[in-house]
Amino acid sequence: MHLEFSYHRQGVINSLKQIVDMGINNFSQQEIGLSTEFVMEKEPVFNVDKYLRRINYSGTKEPNFTNLTSLCRCHATNVPEENLDWFGGQLRAPDLDRIYKNTVEEGRGGVCYEQNGLFGKLLSKLGYNVVLLEGRYYMQEKDEFSFPFNHMLLQVTLEGQDWLVDVRFGFPSFYLPLKMEVMTSQEQTTGIYRMRKVKGNEHEYFLEKRRKEIRDMDSCEIKSKQSKQQLSKYEIDPEWEIKFIYSDIPHTFEEFLPGWKTHFEDKVSFFRTNTLVQRFTDSGSLLLWGSIFIEMEFLGPLCEKVKRTEMLPGKDVAKEWNVLKDLIREKFRIVLDFKPNLARNHLI
């Protein structure tokens, strides 16, 4: 059937701490100015052609795997993951019409509920068989998974084959379709992935990624891809790390709203204590985490390199606003009409 529509972030912290600490150790956590109210407004009708222009997609509308892959790539490289409105902008009600206007007409991005939800609606309009799936990201330091409906992803069925689609988990995960087959290694530019069945639960699966080597700007090793010395209670292979757990039970968009609310109302959640803007490029990724800009280059599926790091105006955003605004426009293709209160919290 075609779906008619009626977050996860410990991995980011663990990978980036080593990059940030490499050369930026004197950064102090900033005062966080949080937006607290949602605005309701009348929204436009969903327009497929405008959406395709927004993501710079030039292929046909025929529902096939080649086009699905291209659509995923176009979305992930043109629409950033970002939560800047949570820090001084105007929050709007979490519904797909509002998300469409924010993303397509206003050129903004969003978190997984917004971007995977909207992308799923696009695919459905194009004739793909799409359902929404629930996920929970893995908190490595606690060796536990986050709360239910912490993350949204998609299942797309083509010619009897199910594909896992997730254009908005962000760094450092996949963004092209993965075949939903257990223990099958699948290589992408961002890494090598596989799905593993959760024992004792017929509907749940681990999404795992091969450990990678990370190099600094001088090509010196920061993080080794060597096998982990001690396995967690969920791991079975030291060469693979868990990114999140997901269920293959279909859900409606409305079922994710309590998870969205939890992210928003929890004053110590990642998205309420960290500003994040991220998008993929054809050969790497760009990240603005607080006032730190990081550019990564993928050197094959098992290695990536820090290409550039830069400390931007932090507490002096108002004073040096044009510097930050220009970088966000140039690197993330976002034009802001407000000054966000940038924040980065090491403790999440």
Output phi, psi for 107, to 5 deg. Answer: 70, 25
User: What's the rounded Cα separation, in Å, for the pair 207 and 183?
Assistant: 10
Residue the block writes with tokens 């800047």: 84
Coil, strand, or helix at residue 311? strand
Amino acid type, 241: E
Closest CA to 311 of 14, 26, 15: 26
**Choice among 85, 112, 203, 266 that is catalytic:** 112
- Give yes or no: 2 in active site: no
Output phi, psi for 237, to 5 deg. Answer: -140, 120
- Give yes or no: 166 in active site: yes
Q: How far is CA 256 from the centre of its chain?
A: 16
Which residues have a Cβ under 8 Å from the Cβ of 344 and sit 6 or more positions away?
27, 29, 30, 274, 275, 289, 290, 291, 292
- Give yes or no: 74 in active site: no
Which residues have a Cβ under 8 Å from the Cβ of 291 and sit 6 or more positions away?
27, 30, 311, 312, 313, 314, 317, 324, 342, 344
**Choice among 8, 72, 85, 151 that is catalytic:** 151
Q: How far is CA 176 from the centre of its chain?
A: 12
Sign of the dihedral through C-alpha 167, 173, 178, 182: negative
Residue 263 Cα distances to 83, 190, 348, angstroms = 11, 26, 13
**Choice among 166, 220, 237, 248 that is catalytic:** 166
Active-site residue list: 112, 151, 166
